[in-house]
Amino acid sequence: MNATIRDGLTADEHKEVDNATEVAVGSGLGISHVIEASSGKDQSSLGKKMTNNSAPPVESKTFAAIAQSAVRKVIEEQPGAEGAAMRNAMLTRYRQGCQLNGEGDA
């Protein structure tokens, strides 16, 4: 995230972005360690040992509500109508994915 966008966020939005960043980095590192540790080994039991550490749906929706308004603003100000059309297409695909995963409307 560039400084202009970050500087435009409220204190609550900063907190949500920071929390999401920590989760994303932690998840990425955890997956990297799993891949390294299991390289060349029988991985059939790996799924039994893993836990899902993703944010609960309520927290994900809270983050999305805060982040989406900031992202929409930047998309509409910088790339304009073309960017807004791309955003709308992405949101449509995201909502379709949520429905396929049984998460209801996003």
For tokens 């390294």, name the residue: 36
Decide if pLDDT at 97 tops 60: yes
Of the ranges 5-9, 27-31, 35-39, 74-78, the best mean pLDDT one:
5-9
Rounded mean pLDDT, 75-83:
74
Summarize the chain as % helix, strand, coil (round to 5).
75, 0, 25
Decide if pLDDT at 67 tops 80: yes
pLDDT over 70 for what percent of the chain? 79
pLDDT class for 102, splitting at 50, 70, 90?
A: low
Are residues 72 and 66 in contact, defined by beta-carbon separation less than 8 angstroms?
no
The per-residue pLDDT for 28 is: 73
pLDDT class for 43, splitting at 50, 70, 90?
A: low
